[in-house]
């Protein structure tokens, strides 16, 4: 049944769990990392390359798709799945974080947010109702409720207003997208690093009733240790019978901390952005392609990796492509980095299923492969 979430196994020493979320375009096995395809494309990858990597779900962004090419065009061409050539599950962010980042271009009020496009400066209006309607028309599997994402550090008053507005908007989002359809709706819990506000937000959203719950407003300026501690305390506040999504986080170490706290879904631009900047994630730690030490190296980027890049390319070759600014290096590095992240998540899931999560976590951190 679409929207059902089953926890198949839990780790005896931590809050880590392995589950399955049923969507209209397939079952999402968790814990899962979602490659970011902001504008209906994972940067550096053709659809068939993304398909070979086999992520459980990919993420696109409502804000960017509203601006370009427009929801009406995507809908007219058969929906987002057909438009981007991806047949698996898709989650769309509401655009709340992107609007938050446009501090100079937006104005909040009780009804919604008015902002100016970063593309052409035109004025647009985003309300909770328009936000979920756009995601429904895109035909996505999981839509996110519109929220207010404050920057950290933030004062108590700013955090309280963000929580209150997010809850009001969440109720309107739920009313605009009733349960029972093919598009699931997740609510977003806010509250910064304040546990009492996180609890209030979780309780208010839980009373509304969503298909899943997200922790938003992390990795927006706070130290990593503070984020890990806050996530560890906030994740158990979310309903245990629904998927828990930690938004926009992060490094492999961040993800391992969050899995241990009981989070199920993750997304971040780190693996694809790092690929474009010549940084590879490997089982031995980060590899920076511009470093002269790789100039004559016949080794693959990661001898322990079986991705197409590591099977065919030496570090010397990848370094040459990067310094020569050849476009192929972006593809090769992106394939490798996403393979690294997705393989890590499969190992994490298997470790939870077999009672070995703590051991895997210690092994990954000891080798340095948890570094971002």
pTM, two decimal places: 0.97
Q: Name the catalytic one among 93, 147, 194, 211.
A: 93
CATH number belonging to the domain at 5-268, selected among 3.20.20.105, 3.40.50.1010, 3.40.1180.10, 3.30.360.10: 3.20.20.105
Active site residue 93: yes
- Considering the candidates 11, 141, 194, 267, report the single residue annotated as catalytic: 267
Annotation marks residue 110 as catalytic: no
Q: How many CA atoms lie within 13 A of 73 on its CB side?
A: 9
Burial of 90 (0-12, 13-18, 19+ CB in 10 A): buried
The CA distance from 359 to 364, in Å, is 9
Q: How far is CA 20 from CA 31, 48, 214, 259, in A?
A: 9, 24, 16, 15
Long-range contacts of 303-312, Cβ-Cβ distance < 8 Å, separation of 24 or more: 305/336, 305/339, 305/340, 305/343, 307/335, 307/336, 307/339, 307/340, 308/52, 308/335, 309/333, 309/335, 309/336, 309/339, 310/336
* Whether 334 contacts 45, CB under 8 Å: yes
**What are the φ and ψ backbone dihedral angles of 38, each rounded to 5 degrees?**
-45, -55
Domain ranges of the chain: 5-268, 274-372
The per-residue pLDDT string of the chain (372 residues; one tens digit each, 9 = 90 and over) reads 999 999 999 999 999 999 999 999 999 999 999 999 999 999 999 999 999 999 999 999 999 999 999 999 999 999 999 999 999 999 999 987 777 676 677 888 899 998 888 889 888 899 999 999 999 999 999 999 999 988 788 899 999 999 999 999 999 999 999 999 999 999 999 999 999 999 999 999 999 999 999 999 998 889 999 999 999 999 999 999 999 999 999 999 999 999 999 999 999 999 999 999 999 999 999 999 999 999 999 999 999 999 999 999 999 999 999 999 999 999 999 999 999 999 999 999 999 999 999 999 999 988 888 887
């Amino acid at each position: 049944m679409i929207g059902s979430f089953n926890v198949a196994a839990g780790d005896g020493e931590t809050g880590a769990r392995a589950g399955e979320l049923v969507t209209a375009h397939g079952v999402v096995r968790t814990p899962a990392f979602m490659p970011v395809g902001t504008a209906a494309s994972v940067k550096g990858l053709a659809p068939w390359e993304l398909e070979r990597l086999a992520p459980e779900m990919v993420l696109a962004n409502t804000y960017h798709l509203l601006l370009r090419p427009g929801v009406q065009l995507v809908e007219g061409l058969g929906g987002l799945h057909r438009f981007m050539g991806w047949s698996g599950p898709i989650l769309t962010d509401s655009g709340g974080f992107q609007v938050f980042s446009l501090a100079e271009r937006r104005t909040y009020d009780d009804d919604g947010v008015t902002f100016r496009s970063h593309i052409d400066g035109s004025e647009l209006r985003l309300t909770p109702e328009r936000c979920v309607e756009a995601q429904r028309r895109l035909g996505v599997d999981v839509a996110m409720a519109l929220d207010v994402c404050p920057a950290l550090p933030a004062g108590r008053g700013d955090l309280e207003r963000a929580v209150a507005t997010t809850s009001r908007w969440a109720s309107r989002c739920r009313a605009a997208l009733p349960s029972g359809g093919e598009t699931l709706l997740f609510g977003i819990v806010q509250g910064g690093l304040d546990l009492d506000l996180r609890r209030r937000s979780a309780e208010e959203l839980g009373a509304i009733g969503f298909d899943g719950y997200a922790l938003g407003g992390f990795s927006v300026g706070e130290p990593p240790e503070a984020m890990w501690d806050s996530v560890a305390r906030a994740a158990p506040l979310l309903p245990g019978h629904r998927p828990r999504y930690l938004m926009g986080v992060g490094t492999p170490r961040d993800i391992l901390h969050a899995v241990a706290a009981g989070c199920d879904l993750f997304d971040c631009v780190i693996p694809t952005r790092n690929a474009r900047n010549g940084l590879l994630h490997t089982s031995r730690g980060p590899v920076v392609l511009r470093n002269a030490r790789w100039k004559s190296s016949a080794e693959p980027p990661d001898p322990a990796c079986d991705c197409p890049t590591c099977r065919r390319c030496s570090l010397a070759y990848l370094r040459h492509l990067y310094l020569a600014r050849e476009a192929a290096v972006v593809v090769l590095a992106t394939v490798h980095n996403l393979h690294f992240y997705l393989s890590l998540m499969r190992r994490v899931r298997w470790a939870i299923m077999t009672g070995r999560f703590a051991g895997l976590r210690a092994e990954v951190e000891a080798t340095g492969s948890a570094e971002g």
